[in-house]
Amino acid sequence: IDFRRAQFVTSAPDIHHLPEDSGMEIAFAGRSNAGKSSALNTLTDHRGLAHTSKRPGRTQLINVFRLTDDKRLIDLPGYGFAKVPLEMKLQWQEKLAQYLEERRCLKGLVVLMDIRHPLKDLDHNMIRWGVAAGMPVLVLLTKADKLKQAEKQKTLRTVKAALAELEGEIVVQLFSSLKGTGREPALKVLTEWFDR
């Protein structure tokens, strides 16, 4: 699969506006500001593919990117932004839950976490949900360029250890959109999922 061929398809306000539930999808989730849009742009080598957010937490849409006729990447709305009304937070959670529970073509979940603030409750929930659904989960520790080498490795070990107890198919990797770190290993994992 050539990830550079990714093309924007649509922004859906809810799962009823998504393309037909067939083929395979891999979904990207993370707290707002985790670096999800940047990671999507880096992975697809496409600077403006996913719009990096100037106003974190305000993009509530499910963005769909097409790789081939039957393979898609899904950019889920960021979660956990503090400064939005509770009502809105609940709406997002419902939207996320609905997508995750009902989308049959969903084959894998990528969870992005800022390496400086890993494994918040909502991240944990997300990963747990993926494991419970029997799905492989790729955890990307983003903005890895922000930490020194020893600190990166330490966080990587800590997060791996914390997730080991979930006994799921979980891969944890370092990632930096700024430096391109972790791009190839992440693409390798995604390609393997799509080829299953």
Those residues whose C-beta lies under 8 Å from the C-beta of residue 145, and which sit 6 or more positions away, are 176, 178, 179, 181
CB of 115 to ligand GDP, least distance (A): 9
**Which helix H or strand E contains 75, and what residues bound it?**
strand 71-75
User: In the complex, what is the shortest distance from the CB of residue 152 to ligand GDP, in angstroms, rounded to a whole number?
Assistant: 12
Q: What share of the chain is helix, strand, coil (3-state, %, to 5)?
A: 40, 25, 40
Measured from the CB atom, is 173 or 177 closer to ligand GDP? 177
Closest CA to 118 of 160, 87, 166: 160
Tell me whether residue 71 or residue 143 sits nearer to ligand GDP (CB atom): 143
Select 58 or 169, whichever has its Cβ closest to ligand GDP. Answer: 58
Return the H-helix or E-strand segment holding 124. helix 121-132
Nearer to ligand GDP, 34 or 135 (CB): 34
| DSSP letters for 16-67 | GGSSPS-SEEEEEEEBTTSSHHHHHHHHHT-TTSSPPPSSTT----EEEEEE
Name the minimum Å distance from CB 196 to ligand GDP.
27
Where on the chain is the footprint of ligand GDP (CB under 6 A)? 30, 32-38, 52-53, 56, 78, 142-143, 145-146, 176-178
Among 122, 121, 55, 119, CA closest to 92 = 122
CB of 2 to ligand GDP, least distance (A): 22
Question: What gap in Å lies between CA 41 and CA 7, rounded to an integer?
Answer: 11
Q: How far is the CB of 176 from ligand GDP (least distance, A)?
A: 4
CB of 78 to ligand GDP, least distance (A): 5
Which residue number, 134 or 186, has a Cβ lying nearer to ligand GDP? 186
